[in-house]
Structure 1
Amino acid sequence: MSPGPSVGSRHTEAVIAALERASIVERSPRFRDPRAAALAVALAVLGVLTTVLGLTTEDAAPPPAASTGAEIPGSTTAPAPEGEATASGVTTEGVTTEEGTTEASAAPDDDTDGPADGDAGGMARSVPVRLRIPAIEVNTELMSLGLRADGTLQVPPLRGDAPAGWYRHSPTPGEAGASVIAGHVDTARDGAAVFYRLRELGVGDRVEVRRKDGSTARFAVTRVAVFAKRDFPSDQVYATVPHAGLRLITCGGVFDRGEGSYRSNVVVFADAVT
């Protein structure tokens, strides 16, 4: 009478059966060599974990000009990080997301940070509440974004339905200067996010920002660019400009699974139109 299967062999078979039920490995063919089966299982599990962990890692937004020594539009001094730093490096101001990180506050409400009157042909200050980009079917509320403890921009919650966010230390849309709005391109759990199609915009496409005072700031796209994050031109994106401008930022390029983030940023430049 031949001996029965070993404990290790039975364990391997059980693991393979469980993975088959989860559709992680194919149902056939089965492995005859337990060692080969164990190796295949280990590689399959490692691949799944790498993909999940990489795609759910929160991507950092590019640093504002303050961290590079350039002038912040609409501000005479570089803003200090707000709140206490958490383990994830995000400030404690705002609300806690499902991922356990602290994000920016839910809605802009500061009408006092900056000049009260418009200058250089710009509109008076009024915080943005909604963004519309008809060409790519974007119609989103806007939340308020500040700075992380490390000087990078806060980001909206990592959810597919999260709104875009206005960087509150930049001019409000319509004021003279470059106003900055950022949003996610996608998430592992939900797929496409608010700025998924941002890279599709072309010169001349219109962007509308409704403001708290009831007015609407209107812009036309002048440029769409992709910058490697290691070479992100903060002095160009956040630069002081004499007219009302808008910068829309999201992630793009190749996704680096090792780092858990995209290697580039898509930036849309737009100028005010009447």
Structure 2
Amino acid sequence: MAAPQPPGSTPSRTAPAATLRRALMWPVVAAGLGMLLIYNSFGNAADDKAPSPPVAALAPAMPVPEVLGSHAPPHPAPPPERATGPAMLRSVPARLRIPSLGVNAPFTDLAIGTDGRLNPPPPNDNNLVGWFKDGATPGERGTAIVAGHVDTTTGPAVFLQLQFLKPGATVDITRADGSVATFKVDSVETFSKAKFPDKRVYADAPDAQLRLITCGGPYNKTAKDYEDNVVAFAHLDSSKEG
């Protein structure tokens, strides 16, 4: 996939509350996000849209449009009642490093397009990840959504090996303020897009959480899309000031 489409600087964090249903990420009241990567980019080089990442400022009662592939963006959730674990001040992500996979890639902002779906990272850049800019920044309390392509029309891409990431592996995200947020992977799971667990993936959290999302599973030539999403769940383990 090209990362689930809703996971730069943005206003104060809005926590994703999930529900991905038809693209690759995120439908109503607690929607979510998910990302699709296919050899033709997020679902297809033509429409270049993948599963939906979290959306930040939709009214709780308003129906949520589909985003990023096959899911709708989550509504902003109220602030968590009790904060837990380490957390950092808000600062947009600049670079992602996953030592065990040899990943070292810059970030681009992802936003919801005029069609109500999250725009995926550019399909012509194999080494680029996207961050849903209306959600939590990596290291900030809440669930930060990061998506990347598994491949594009030009070849393998940044999250090609995401499915092989092991629990306990570290993910380092350098932020605009020079600080580094180090996350520890809890699990890596594959979900059918038809039964994507929006709430589990996109729900807000009282601590600093990270989701890495891409496409996976069999490639459906008729639909020109992967049938599954691969999601890495991680939590903030430590931080270093810039």
TM value normalised by structure 2:
0.67
Q: Shift of the alpha carbon at 1:144?
A: 0.2
Matches within 5 A, 1:78-97: none
Greater length-normalized contact order (CA 8 Å, ≥ 6 residues apart): 2
Indicate the residue corresponding to 1:200 in structure 2: 164
CA shift for structure 1 position 196: 0.6
Which of 148, 173, 185 pairs up with 2:150? 185
- Structure 1 residue 159, shift from structure 2 partner: 2.2
Q: Deviations over 1:234-266 (max 9, x none)?
A: 211110111001000101101111111111110
Aligned with 2:89 (options 95, 117, 124): 124
**Distance in 1 (alpha carbons) for counterparts of 2:87 and 2:111:** 23
Would you say how many aligned residue pairs link Structure 1 and Structure 2?
Answer: 180
Among 239, 242, 256, the alignment partner of 2:203 is 239
Is 2:28 the partner of 1:64? no
Please give the residue correspondences for 1:142-181 in structure 2 after superposition, counting only pairs within 5 Å: 142-181=107-146
1:217 is aligned to 181
Q: Which letter does structure 2 place at the counterpart of 1:208? A: D
- Once residues 224 and 232 of structure 1 are traced to their aligned partners in structure 2, the CA distance between those partners, rounded to angstroms, is 14
Aligned in 2, Cα 1:231/1:59: closer, same or farther, shift over 3 Å? Answer: farther
Q: Percent identity?
A: 42
The 3 A distance-change label for structure 1 pair 199 and 174 is same
Q: How far does the alpha carbon of each residue in 1:79-124 deviate from its partner, in whole angstroms, 9 at most, with x for none?
A: x9xxxxxxxx99xxxxxxxxxxxxxxxxxxxxxxxx9xxx654110
Give the structure with the larger strand fraction: 2
Distance 1:247 1:131 in 2: 13
Q: Show structure 2 runs of 5+ residues with no match.
A: 1-38, 69-78
Indicate the residue corresponding to 1:263 in structure 2. Answer: 227
Separation (CA, whole Å) in 2 of partners of 1:152 and 1:268: 22
Aligned to 2:71: none
SS at match of 1:64: coil
> 1:77/1:206 Cα in 2 relative to 1: closer, same or farther (>3 Å)?
farther
Q: Name the one with the larger helix percent.
A: 1
Question: What per-residue deviation string (whole Å, max 9, x for no partner) do you get for residues 57-92 of structure 1?
Answer: 5553222355xxxxx5xx6857x9xxxxxxxx99xx
Gaps of 5+ in 1: 1-50, 67-71, 81-88, 91-114
Mapped to 2, the partners of 1:77 and 1:133 lie a distance apart of 36
Distance 1:65 1:234, change over 3 A: farther
- Code of the aligned partner of 1:249: I
Alpha-carbon distance in 2 for matches of 1:269, 1:143: 20
